[in-house]
Structure formats: structure tokens, C-alpha cells
Amino acid sequence: MKDLARVSGKKGENPPVSDSQPISPKVQLVTISAEEAGQRIDNFLLRVCKGVPKSHIYRVLRSGEVRVNKGRIDQTYRLEDGDVIRIPPIRMAEKTKLVVPGAEFAILLEDDYILAIDKPAGIAVHGGSGVSYGVIEQLRAARPQAKFLELVHRLDRDTSGVLLLAKKRSALTHLHEQIREGQLDKRYLLLVTGDWQNRRQHVKLPLFKYNLPDGERRVRVQADGLPSHTVFNLLRKYAGFTLLEAELKTGRTHQIRVHSASSGFPIVGDEKYGDFALNRAMQKAEGKRIAFKRMFLHAHQISFMHPHTNETVQLTAPLPKECADFLKSLATAEE
């Protein structure tokens, strides 16, 4: 486990070990700062105890080995400014530690409170579900001096565009409150198959999350699913395709992808919910139309209230070159 600020270890707790043996950290006492206050103890431990299995974290919580201000707590306890946490020796093998390559991404805005980047398609926002690491882990590796860096929201791996991160817990809390109140406005550009008719169309279809036998996450329209609302605005028609802007009124997993596909207009290049035969055909050039080998879904704009100044901020990520070039080729093919 990484050394932590304001941490003191008790001597004599553990004998020295070689580099090839499992690491057994000493008892550590961590004092919670104002920025760290408000989060649950289990989430705090999962963040600071990198590489330790989640099941082990909950086991030491249940056993009472983790103490706050010398008293027992359960996993739902929310930390307060000044709390002193006793973290027991937690064993984890050094050889299983993942080395994450640091990386920076195109920055749309950065100050002391927020970081907004233009995420490329094909990169996950975080590790998990078969992905060793993502944007957040790479940014943390590139910025070891950063005391706090967390995702405000998420984007699918194959979706490009604006991704917002918080550099202070107060900023994260403020932005999450805006999301809950529907005050954070996110808009996407998508190219769908078919001749979309309405200039502005509301789609309200309940979405249900489930897993395939291999563990892959999927979403479908189902009566007992979560209420979901997307507004689609028609921007331009091409022969056999339509460029749309989607406004998210709710933020469900794969919401835009499932709402457009369920309306009869799958997104070009969507390998989960799209037209698979068409997707294969799109990967090869035909006439004046160039090849296209990704999903055409791009988070192009986000508007929110700045968590410190309370001023309205609007950020825009330009359409990636491969998407812009593909649209030009569609327009050329019509000439």
C-alpha cells in the first residue's frame, strides 16, 4: 500500500520481508482532511489500499480491525474532518501490483477544482470488466502529486469526447448534486442508420441492465427498468444515414445507444446494439465513401455550474477527424 500523508506506523508490528514475499504493511493511523470528509469508510479504504481485493477490505471492516477515533464502525460510516482511522496490516503480493503507464489527454479546461479532457475512442474511463486500467488510472500515474482526482461521470469505452474530473472532493460533491438535480447538461453527436423524420423527438423508454453468461454488461428496454429520457435533435440527413444531437435527461448505462436502436435507428459502428452487417460493410470504402471503423458517438458538449465560482461553464470537444472525414465522404458521395 502506498505511503499516505499524516500516517504513522507502530514499530515492531511486522518482521522485515524480502521483495519476493508478500508485503505486510504496519498498522497505520490516517487523519482525514476536510477534502476527504463525507465519503464512506469502505470507499476510502478501496481507494487507498490499491491492489487489495474488495472482499478482504470488507472482511477487515466486519472484524472490527479498522477503527475510527479508536471505536468500531461499519462499512456505511461517513468520514468526518479530523477523524483518525486505524488501518490494520493488510497483506498484498507485490508481484500482482499493476504498473499503469502515465498518460495525459487533450485538456479542454483545468483549474484548481476541475479537469476536463477530450477522451479518445477506444480507451475505458476506468479499469474493470476485463480492462486493466483506464483514463483515471493513467492520469493518476501521470500526476503522482495530485492529492485528489476522481471521475465526475463516465463515457463508454468506444465513445469519444468531453470527460469531466474533479480535483477536490468539494467539487465532486457539487457536480454530483448538479447531476442529481438535472442541472448538468450533456450533449452527444451520433450518426444513425436510416431516415430520421422528426426535427426534435423525445424518447422515454425504461432501461434494464443485465449481464450475458460471459459477464458482459448489456441493457435492454423493459417495463420494470429505470425511467430513461433522451431528446434527439435532427442536424443533417445523408443518403441512408442521419446525424443527430442527443440531450441526456437521465444518465443510464448505454442510454443513447439503446434508445436510438430501439427506435429503429442504430448508431453506425455500434458493436453491441447496432446493425452488424452494416458495421462490417462500413469498415471498407465504397465509391466516394471512406471506411469507418469505430462507433459514431461523440460527447461534444457539456454545460455546468462551476463548483467554486458558480458561473456557467460550457465546454465543447470538436468532432474527431475520423468522424468529420466520414461525414465529408458521405456528402461527397451524394454529389
DSSP 15-61: ----TTSPB-PPPEEEEPPTTTTTSBHHHHHHHHSTTS-HHHHHHHH
pLDDT value, residue 24: 43
pLDDT value, residue 3: 39
| Residue ranges of domains in the chain | 7-94, 106-334
Q: In the numeric block, which cell numbers belong to residue 54?
A: 474488495
Q: In CATH terms, is domain 7-94 a member of 3.40.50.300?
A: no
Mean pLDDT, rounded, for 100-104: 86
pLDDT at 13 over 50: no
- The CA dihedral of 129, 321, 334, 231, to the nearest 10 degrees, is 50
Place 230 in a pLDDT band, splitting at 50, 70 and 90.
very high
pLDDT value, residue 4: 37
E strand spans, 124-258: 150-151, 160-166, 185-193, 200-204, 207-211, 217-221, 229-238, 241-248
pLDDT value, residue 132: 80
Per DSSP, the three-state class of 293 is coil
Give me the active site residues, please.
156
pLDDT at 187 over 60: yes
Answer with the residue of higher pLDDT: 1 or 270: 270
Mean pLDDT, rounded, for 116-120: 97
Q: What is the mean pLDDT of the chain?
A: 88
pLDDT at 105 over 50: yes
Task: Report, in this order, helix, strand and coil percent for the chain, each rounded to 5.
Answer: 20, 30, 50
Per DSSP, the three-state class of 88 is coil
Please give the C-alpha separations between residue 37 and each of 77, 79, 169, in angstroms, as whole numbers.
Answer: 11, 5, 8
As a whole number of Å, the CA-based R_g of the chain is 23
In the DSSP assignment, the letter for residue 302 is E
Tens of pLDDT, residue by residue over 69-84, are 999 998 889 998 889 9
pLDDT at 106 over 90: yes
As a whole number of angstroms, the distance between CA 162 and CA 2 comes to 31
Q: Domain 106-334's class?
A: alpha beta
pLDDT value, residue 91: 65
